[in-house]
Amino acid sequence: MDPSARAQGLITYANLPTYLKARTPFPPPEDYKPPKESFAVRCFENVLQKVVFKDKIYDTVFINSQIEPHENSMLRADIGIHYMTERGEVKILCFVEAKRTKPTQSFSTKGVEQEALDYCREFFHSDRSNKIEFVYAGTLVGTHLRLWIVHRAEAEEDTFLEPLWGSPLLGSNNDYADLGDREGGPLIEKTLHEMVRVAPEKWIAAGISPPLGGGAYQLPRANRPDPAGLMLPSVVSDLTAPPPPANYERIKKFVSISSSYGWVTVKNAGGSGPSTEWKVEGHYLVNHMKRLYADKGTENVPGGSR
């Protein structure tokens, strides 16, 4: 038996004993004693290092523990995923907070989501030198994970978690994916890969093709309808409008994320922002703030019915 081979989902045979210790039955029996939180953290760290980011292309993605939102913060996230930008700087990609499963699992779920949001709020609003527009978050309950995106807002109370899959509701246990599940594992892996490619600042390896067999990654939709033409909901199109300026960069593909969009340009630069930044002008979808545009050749154009 190859210890590095996958036994189930994202769990290798070597990681299986830790996974089984971190995994919990639900609902728990009356005499159930929850495992230590450290088993869940250790299991997920193994998954990140030995499975999700094991290929050479991810040599510039780093997994660390006890990560603060900024240098002077008293808060510490259980796990931080960092990456190297094209400028050679190491930046935070994702804060991950973990909780062991308790008899009242919904309480654990809402609690861990609030803690993850607290890290992101402090990241945006307590460090004036930070100009990053968004960051990712992960919430881990036992061996069940959910991934989120958090955008900068003017007010701290307007900063919130937006799910990368499932319903928009917080505390939704049914939307958590199991690391060792046949369907949940691939969903988690593909989403983490896309997060690096659509990073807050351009990842240094963004222009390198993913490993063979990895396919083209795309974040799952979060309860959004399939595109119905080049049109955003409630936006009036002026078909007589001129094309975008020559210095605007073309979007190669979109990633729909709840009320905000992620994208990859033809130069393999990733980005993200609220849907309100985009307007339909003629036969183009244009973002004047970021000098971007999409056309009929753009993959996965977000939209609604005409």
Express each pLDDT in 27-74 by its tens digit: 445 565 666 668 889 999 999 999 999 999 999 999 998 887 776 777
pLDDT at res. 297: 81
* Domain end position, chosen among 197, 215, 249: 197
Tokens of 241: 């409008």
Kindly state whether residues 138 and 277 are assigned to the same domain: no
Residue 205 lies inside a defined structural domain of this protein:
no
- At residue 16 the predicted structure's pLDDT band, cuts being 50, 70 and 90, is very high
- Computed on alpha carbons and rounded to an integer, the radius of gyration of the chain in Å comes to 20
H or E element at residue 196: helix 184-197
Express each pLDDT in 61-116 by its tens digit: 999 988 877 767 777 888 999 999 999 999 999 999 987 555 444 446 888 899 99
Q: Over 50: is that where the pLDDT of 220 sits?
A: no
Kindly state whether residues 186 and 48 are assigned to the same domain: yes
pLDDT at res. 283: 80
Phi, psi of 5 (to 5 degrees): -75, 155
Contact of 208 with 247, CB cutoff 8 Å: no
Share of the chain above pLDDT 70, in %: 78
User: What are the residues whose beta carbons fall under 8 Å from the beta carbon of 288, sequence distance 6 or more?
Assistant: 279
Residue 1 lies inside a defined structural domain of this protein:
no
pTM for this predicted structure: 0.70
Residue 207 lies inside a defined structural domain of this protein:
no
Kindly state whether residues 21 and 92 are assigned to the same domain: yes
Sequence letter at residue 274: P
Kindly state whether residues 183 and 230 are assigned to the same domain: no
Kindly state whether residues 192 and 258 are assigned to the same domain: no
Residue in this structure with the two tokens 């796990």, named with its chain if needed: 79
Residue 218 lies inside a defined structural domain of this protein:
no
Q: Pick from 120, 112, 114, 135: which is nearest to 41 by CA?
A: 112
- At residue 257 the predicted structure's pLDDT band, cuts being 50, 70 and 90, is low
Q: Strands, DSSP E only, in the chain?
A: 6-8, 11-12, 61-67, 77-84, 90-99, 134-141, 144-151, 162-163, 177-178, 249-257, 260-265, 270-274, 279-281, 284-287, 292-294
Q: Pick from 57, 50, 127, 43: which is nearest to 92 by CA?
A: 127
Q: Over 90: is that where the pLDDT of 245 sits?
A: no
Express each pLDDT in 125-175 by its tens digit: 877 778 888 999 999 988 999 999 998 888 888 888 889 888 877 877 788
DSSP codes, 106-153: HHHHHHHHHHHHHHHHHHHHS-TT----EEEEEEEETTEEEEEEEE--
Tally the domains of the chain.
2
Q: Over 90: is that where the pLDDT of 303 sits?
A: no
Kindly state whether residues 165 and 229 are assigned to the same domain: no
Residue 282 lies inside a defined structural domain of this protein:
yes
Kindly state whether residues 39 and 154 are assigned to the same domain: yes
Structural domain boundaries enclosing 155: 6-197
- At residue 224 the predicted structure's pLDDT band, cuts being 50, 70 and 90, is very low
Tokens of 189: 């892996």
Q: Over 80: is that where the pLDDT of 13 sits?
A: yes
User: What are the residues whose beta carbons fall under 8 Å from the beta carbon of 1, sequence distance 6 or more?
Assistant: 13
